[in-house]
Amino acid sequence: MLDILTIHHVALPVTDLARAKRFYADVIGLHEVARPAFSFPGAWFQAGDRILHLIVNDDQTFRAGKGVDTRDIHFAIRVSSYRAAIDHLAALGYRPDAEDPMRRTVEQPHATAGFPQVFLLDPDRNVVELNAERLD
């Protein structure tokens, strides 16, 4: 079993970043916070003790029926050990080179976000991220 600590963040695709930022700040009342310099536009908002990620992306995994897209709608679960999560997934047939596209993972041990991440699809093609505080 995975040693799950908490939900880490929620990410939502948006088509008009300025409009989305106005909605989440003015309507919902969230405060925008600093975001790493990713290669794609977006914004982060504080949501209690968690973060909401807005990501500009018109080409989403769920709607397009393609493989894992780390910029698509996803939720993140913080785990205590990145390596244990990778090993657990591999034991179940989830790995980057899996023949079945539904069992392929995208591993990012040195992600731009500043913490190690692995992405996979659930049976309904929803993107799930597992991440850890550090690479172990």
pLDDT along the chain (136 residues), means of 10: 92 89 88 96 94 83 70 89 96 94 94 96 85 94
**Cα gap 81→96, rounded to integer Å:** 18
- Asked if residue 80 belongs to a domain, the reply is yes
- Asked if residue 123 belongs to a domain, the reply is yes
- Asked if residue 11 belongs to a domain, the reply is yes
What domain range is 54 assigned to? 4-131
**Cα gap 86→134, rounded to integer Å:** 13
Give the per-residue pLDDT at 74.
87
Query: For the chain, what is the domain count?
Result: 1
Q: Is 93 left (phi over 0), alpha (psi -120 to 50) or beta?
A: left
Give the per-residue pLDDT at 65.
67
Give the per-residue pLDDT at 93.
94
- Asked if residue 136 belongs to a domain, the reply is no
Tell me the CATH number at 71. 3.10.180.10
- Asked if residue 33 belongs to a domain, the reply is yes
**Cα gap 41→37, rounded to integer Å:** 9
Give the per-residue pLDDT at 35.
97
Burial 64-91 (b: 16+ CB within 10 A, else e): eeeebbbbbbbebbbbebbebbbebbee
pTM value is 0.75
Residue position matching structure tokens 């018109």:
58
**Cα gap 10→7, rounded to integer Å:** 8
86 by DSSP, 3-state: which? Answer: helix
- Asked if residue 52 belongs to a domain, the reply is yes
- Asked if residue 89 belongs to a domain, the reply is yes
